[in-house]
Amino acid sequence: MIDVVQGPATAVDATRVTDTPTAAVMAPLLTGSLFRSDRYHFFPVLASTNQQAAQLAQAGAAEGTVVVADQQTQGRGRLGRQWSSPAGVNLYCSVVLRPTLLPRDAAQLTLLAGVALAHTLTEWGVAGVLIKWPNDLLLQGRKAAGILTEMRTDRSGIQHVIVGIGLNVNGQAADLPLELRDRATSLAESLHSAVCRPPLLAKLLAQLDHWYGRFGREGFAPVRQEWLACSRLLGQSVGVRLADEQFSGQAVALDADGCLLVQRADGMLARVVAGDVTLLGKE
Ligand code: BTN
């Protein structure tokens, strides 16, 4: 845990602010209408905040329920990967949403969360924030955050969607598995100073609240437009790796479902629903 000390050393006890986003610390910071303090759950350690949020949602937890852990022992990433989740340095947060959406449109919420995350970091003063399709947040080309969206459906449609966000805040390269060290970064590495996690989390939740509200009122169009601005993806040469094939081409559009359309070198138009996309540079 990092304790952030504000004010002169003589006043430490009165002004010491904890860096851990417990319910007590977060309550005065949760000023929006969706993510309220009575729906905020903090755990020192969890297997996965997405797993815990899904359990709460299945038990009837309301939209706007937030699950945060200081550490995850089985943090989940996309495509069955693990999410490195050491204690006391980063943010691991999952929110419960109950949107009126077709299941096939749920991926739009991943893009929405990417927009909220990008705005949070830019407002925090972080330079060079870029979204990489569909849900990686890059700082100077290195991954600082990821989003894992999972949903439960029944015959009537979506029961709930869990949007899980992992943000590397104060973690150092040495905290990461060897294979990730040259591809990952954190806010602290980018800003050259430690970041206090509770106000950062509050800003992220306020951004999610704002964009989810707009999404509810205006649909996907404004999110899509903002996502395109934050990704600067269209027109770029990209490499695409799917489970069973790899190809390269040019990113030409993001469709209404949030899928990426890639004009392949062989002339075919590919609609990328899931997979890994890497930027190869401007054509
Ligand atoms: C990715 O692969 O880029 C997505 C990573 C998502 C990680 C977050 S951390 C909070 C939430 N709980 C999890 O188990 N995963 C997500």
**165 Cα to the center of ligand 1, angstroms:** 5
Q: How confident is the model at residue 178 (pLDDT cuts 50, 70, 90)?
A: confident
Query: In this structure, what token pair is assigned to residue 218?
Result: 């205006």
Q: How confident is the model at residue 281 (pLDDT cuts 50, 70, 90)?
A: low
pTM confidence score? 0.89
Domains parsed from the chain with CATH numbers: 4-231 (3.30.930.10), 237-279 (2.30.30.100)
The whole-number pLDDT of residue 2 equals 36
The whole-number pLDDT of residue 177 equals 75
Cis bond before residue 134 (omega within 30° of 0): yes
The whole-number pLDDT of residue 94 equals 98
Question: Does residue 8 carry a pLDDT above 50?
Answer: no
Question: Does residue 264 carry a pLDDT above 80?
Answer: yes
Q: Which residues form the pocket of ligand 1, taking CB atoms under 6 Å from any ligand atom?
A: 48-50, 72, 75-78, 81, 83, 92-94, 135-136, 146-148, 164-166
**15 Cα to the center of ligand 1, angstroms:** 33
Residue range 60-89: mean pLDDT, rounded? 95
The whole-number pLDDT of residue 249 equals 95
Highest mean pLDDT among 140-149, 180-189, 195-204, 254-263: 195-204
Question: Does residue 258 carry a pLDDT above 50?
Answer: yes
Question: What are the start-end ranges of the H helices in the chain?
Answer: 12-15, 23-26, 49-58, 107-123, 187-191, 197-218, 221-231
- Block residue for tokens 């990092």: 2
Residue range 249-270: mean pLDDT, rounded? 90
